[in-house]
Amino acid sequence: MIRKFRIGNPIPTDSVVKEIPVTQDNLPYFEKNDEAKVLTFSLNKEDKVYGLGETVRGMNKRGWLYTSNNSDDPNHTENKHSLYASQNFFVVFSNARQFGVYVDTPGKVSFDIGYTSYDKLSISFEDFDADIYNVEGEGVMDIVSQFRGIIGRSYIPPKWAFGFGQSRWSYMTADEVREVADKYQEAGIPLDMIYLDIDYMERYKDFTIDENSFPEFPKFVEEMKARGIHLVPIIDAGVKNEDGYDVYEEGVEKDYFVKKENGENLVAAVWPGKVHFPDFLNDEARAWFGNKYKVLMDQGIDGFWNDMNEPAIFYTEDHLNEVFEKLDDYKGKNLDIKSFFEFKDLVGSIDNYPEDYKRFYHDYKGMKIRHDKVHNLFGYNMTRAAGEAFEKLSPDKRILMFSRSSYIGMHRYGGIWHGDNQSWWSHLLLNIQQMPAVNMCGFLYTGADIGGFGSDTTEDLLLRWTAFGIFTPLFRNHSAMGTRRQELYRFDAVDVFKNFVRLRYALIPYLYSEFMKAALGDKMLFKPLCFEYKDERSAQVEDQLLLGESIMLAPVYTQNASGRYVYLPEDMKLVRFHAFDDYDEEVMSAGDHYVKAELNEILVFVRKGRVLPLAKPENGINTKDSDMSFICYEADPDSYELYTDDGISRI
């Protein structure tokens, strides 16, 4: 049962697609403090809180303060409160009670989950205007499914998007891309996608191609497709200000960019220098921008990633002027404790400056709304622009799309990647822990930058991360400019990587079937153990996952470990893969075990009465899976329901 309560006069977000009337009942569980703009309730000692999507820290969110305020912050450390996403759905549960809460409000909102006081959960609002949905059900899975039922079906990518993708900021020329494809081919590692980062564009202008470094682009796209590789270009939120650039000129002429109070287009800066931001919240501007993807689709492109759409702002022209003016005050001064830090703050305040988000306005549903009031909807509507356009531009075929910034609702139009992580062991764990939380909020096609985006990766980290990444729907190795190159063929362990990636391809029938069942049935693909096992120990486990109906994962995420402790909530069959066709099986009893896992091994635990199908891996994703075999633990292989379709037609 889902009830909707209204506080104040909320700005609609279009995240919920099912009509639910507002009830006049009192909001259950919460005490409401209008003056403080806070909702509070008491947590019991046993209560666990799961959800909130792509955030910092562990699976059980209790013990920290999370703020929904989409932020371009590449340091996903424990002290942070906000990342790129606002996914305001969570479930509170213990054996005694369970309920879900969705806080639908497009502005800043904070969830103090036992942070200020361990036995209190409070939600504080900048504007006390929100629709609060209360979800009651038979257990946590039922609550999640009901919630998913009201926000609409999750985005389904083409099947080839379940292949392996290689990315780098940036492959600078077509020849460099060819070299990546060649090297993967030589190494015998399947590859379905190569990502094009910002340097494929002409001076960082969306929907353009640098003709010098990527000559005859449509031919190049075709050539790569003939090799089974889809090129996936990035699209950024900011539109370069440059005379003669059609997207800029049309946007100015038609008034499709966000405006300052005085009616002038906001001038901000990102990669190309000065840009305007399209007003994605405006229906007409959204349709206009969405239609621009056609420029690349006409050249054979069938997948995209949307970036910098929090939006990230290097500076606004206005704030930069303010800073330059104030800098003079400090010239030639003996900077002391106070003035030095003021000066440092002034210079450090230039990018993603909070006040800049109050300088511009949207024309949203006939209202002029200051950006900060609807900040968390920006990336969502950029991706919606693409998604809505794809329905018209490609009515038959699915298009790959994922975004950095998100809000619930966007899950209908695209997936997400988990932003600019680092080549840190702790970020491998964070990747593991974020998976179920984003699934709860409808985001199924997701994955993190494998190997880590920032910092230099190491072979062992990349091995362990790839060993986990083979299970995530978006399976992409990506890294930042200036960091160690991390294409898999560059490492001594290239043959181990080959076995891992080929195992991924062998798992496709399972991963795709479970993904489709989750998408079509409003289910989760990744679950914490305690979503299915009711024992108290399962609720303590923060580093193992159930994936689909058949298997449990216990990834190794620490340096120099040759194994780990694994908790088995019931008897399971451990399958120790060295390759898709080289594995050992061992039935293990419920309880705690220390399990060996060398760097060249991937562990999969098959649940009792369940089946894990495997196919013979090919060099790319096939619509038909061939040479199927089945690993069963006290189960009949026929009991597994494979999902098959052509992998490309819209559903």
End-to-end CA distance of the chain: 28
Sketch the per residue contact string, 468 through 487, with ligand GLC: x for CB under 6 A, - otherwise.
----------x---------
- Residue 404, interface with ligand GLC (CB under 6 A)? yes
Provide the minimum distance between the beta carbon of 420 and ligand GLC in the complex, in angstroms, as a whole number: 5
Residue pair 5/25 in contact by the 8 Å Cβ criterion: yes
Q: Which structure tokens are listed for 15? A: 């995240």
Residue pair 551/612 in contact by the 8 Å Cβ criterion: yes
Residues 495-514, interacting with ligand GLC (CB under 6 A): none
Beta bridge partners of 64: 113
Q: Which of 131, 192, 307, 549 binds ligand GLC (CB under 6 A)?
A: 307
Query: CA 411, 412, 417: angle at the middle one, nearest 5?
Result: 35
By C-beta, is 418 or 523 nearer to ligand GLC?
418
Quick check: helix, strand or coil at residue 494?
helix
> Which residues have C-beta within 8 Å of that of residue 254, sequence separation ≥ 6?
284, 285, 288
Residue pair 504/470 in contact by the 8 Å Cβ criterion: yes
Please list the active-site residues: 307, 310, 420
CA-only gyration radius of the chain, Å: 24
Number of H-type helices and E-type strands within the chain? 12, 38
Q: Please state, as a whole number, how many other Cβ atoms lie within 10 Å of the Cβ of residue 78.
A: 10
By C-beta, is 234 or 568 nearer to ligand GLC?
234
By C-beta, is 86 or 306 nearer to ligand GLC?
306
Phi/psi for 439 (5° steps) reads -60, -40
By C-beta, is 61 or 76 nearer to ligand GLC?
76
Sketch the per residue contact string, 146 through 185, with ligand GLC: x for CB under 6 A, - otherwise.
-----------------------x----------------
Provide the minimum distance between the beta carbon of 447 and ligand GLC in the complex, in angstroms, as a whole number: 12
Provide the minimum distance between the beta carbon of 451 and ligand GLC in the complex, in angstroms, as a whole number: 13
By C-beta, is 2 or 239 nearer to ligand GLC?
239
Provide the minimum distance between the beta carbon of 164 and ligand GLC in the complex, in angstroms, as a whole number: 17
CA distance 251 to 243: 12
By C-beta, is 448 or 530 nearer to ligand GLC?
448
CA distance 200 to 27: 52
By C-beta, is 333 or 485 nearer to ligand GLC?
485
CA distance 121 to 157: 36
Residues 181-240, interacting with ligand GLC (CB under 6 A): 197-198, 234
Quick check: helix, strand or coil at residue 551?
strand
Provide the minimum distance between the beta carbon of 586 and ligand GLC in the complex, in angstroms, as a whole number: 40
Provide the minimum distance between the beta carbon of 197 and ligand GLC in the complex, in angstroms, as a whole number: 5
> Which residues have C-beta within 8 Å of that of residue 306, sequence separation ≥ 6?
234, 235, 236, 237, 379, 382, 383, 386, 401, 402, 403, 404, 414
By C-beta, is 7 or 237 nearer to ligand GLC?
237
Q: Which structure tokens are listed for 502? A: 């080929």
How many chain residues are in contact with ligand GLC, going by CB under 6 A?
Answer: 9
CA distance 606 to 301: 38
Provide the minimum distance between the beta carbon of 198 and ligand GLC in the complex, in angstroms, as a whole number: 4
Provide the minimum distance between the beta carbon of 72 and ligand GLC in the complex, in angstroms, as a whole number: 8
CA distance 497 to 477: 12
Beta bridge partners of 278: 257
> Which residues have C-beta within 8 Å of that of residue 422, sequence separation ≥ 6?
74, 75, 76, 452, 453, 454, 455
Which residues contact ligand GLC (rule: CB under 6 A)?
169, 197-198, 234, 307, 404, 419-420, 478
